[in-house]
Amino acid sequence: MINNIIAGAGISVSSPYRQHVSVTGSVRWNGALHILEVMDQANWLPLYNSYDTTTVTMSQEYINAIEWARKKMLEEEKILALCEQHPGLKDLKEKYELMLVLTRDTF
């Protein structure tokens, strides 16, 4: 099992050297060689060497979903800020959310 995975602009993986993990697609840090490796079906292959780099990409569908989620989060923050400034808007938002819960089974 890989410990200490930190997501951000990239992913930082730190883990002790573990030779027993051999599931295809597993990733490990090889501390002896100071490289990140991935298991194919039988061998640990380096993800990076001094001659080329490996990149991991996402499909456009996933990128669009992440962008949509970011926009929704910003929109929700703005709505919450407006609700704090305008008690009437806060009351309407609470009533709207209640109506959604009460009518959800009709969708």
Residue 47: what pLDDT? 77
- State pLDDT tens for residues 31-79: 888 888 888 888 888 876 555 666 677 889 999 999 999 999 999 999 9
Which tokens go with 36?
């990140």
Q: 3-class DSSP state for residue 6? A: strand
21 or 91, which is more confident = 91
Whether 40 and 26 have beta carbons less than 8 Å apart is answered as no
Phi (first) and psi of residue 79, to 5 degrees: -65, -45
What value does the mean pLDDT of the chain take?
79
**25 or 4, higher pLDDT:** 25
Is residue 24 a contact partner of residue 7, using CB atoms and an 8 Å limit?
no
Output the pLDDT for position 44. Answer: 87
